[in-house]
Amino acid sequence: MLSRILVATSKFFCVTFVLMAQTLAHSAPPPERDLTVRIQKHGAAITVDVELTVQATAEEVWDVLTDYDHMAEIVSNVESSKVLKRAGNRLEITQKSRTTLGPLHFSFDNVREVELTPYTEIRSRLISGDMDASAFTTRIVSEGKATRIFNHGEFIPNLWMPPLIGRAFLEAETRKQFEEMRAEILRRKTNLRRRSKRKAQRRN
């Protein structure tokens, strides 16, 4: 009897995860050509590679990517974000995030050390939190009126994720985060131009 229950339960979860994977695939918007996300799994480690082009200056991109005290207002799955310590170009930040996929809920509470090289590079590594390890590097490359962002990282989660949807789920969440950051970069750029235009009109 117990074995039958276990088999039935396993089948139920397999069907559930397949349906969730299909739903995720059909509901996801078509990928933008100037935003690519690649998720790979190597044993327990998961690597993330992102390339993104933004029609903004490197300084405008930098101001959003390093605005840790307001990151919860920029990225929807970040519940809280705060700079704990500052020492020159080294920061210690704490962040809490939460994401949901059907009946599954994932929460992360991390403290990270961040090393800043203004306008060109951001390095971060996990100090403590809900992962066994995590390290990311973001490079910012100016290309005239546009800026390219290259993000590479590797982390080792300490929670189980369903293999049928794990990669698709992580890719969708990563894509969403960078789309939201790009939207904020462009929003601030537009607002700055409007304020500058109004000031110029007042002077005239």
Looking at residue 199, its pLDDT comes to 77
Looking at residue 4, its pLDDT comes to 34
Question: Tokens 């078509």, residue?
Answer: 30
Quote the CA–CA distance of 96 and 201 in Å, as a whole number. 43
Domain boundaries in the chain?
Answer: 33-199
Looking at residue 107, its pLDDT comes to 81
Looking at residue 71, its pLDDT comes to 98
Looking at residue 161, its pLDDT comes to 66
77, with CB counted inside 10 A (0-12, 13-18, 19+), is middle
User: At 102, which amino acid appears?
Assistant: G
Looking at residue 16, its pLDDT comes to 42
Question: Tokens 């200056």, residue?
Answer: 57
The CATH H-level superfamily of 33-199 is START domain (3.30.530.20)
44 in Cβ contact with 133 (< 8 Å): no
Q: Which of 134, 154, 126 is nearest to 41 (CA)?
A: 154
Quote the CA–CA distance of 187 and 192 in Å, as a whole number. 9
152 in Cβ contact with 136 (< 8 Å): yes
Q: What is the mean pLDDT of each run of 10 residues along the chain (204 residues)?
A: 33 40 45 84 93 97 98 96 97 92 77 98 96 96 96 90 74 96 97 82 74
Looking at residue 104, its pLDDT comes to 65
User: At 181, which amino acid appears?
Assistant: M
Assigned token pair, 190: 């537009």
Quote the CA–CA distance of 143 and 53 in Å, as a whole number. 9
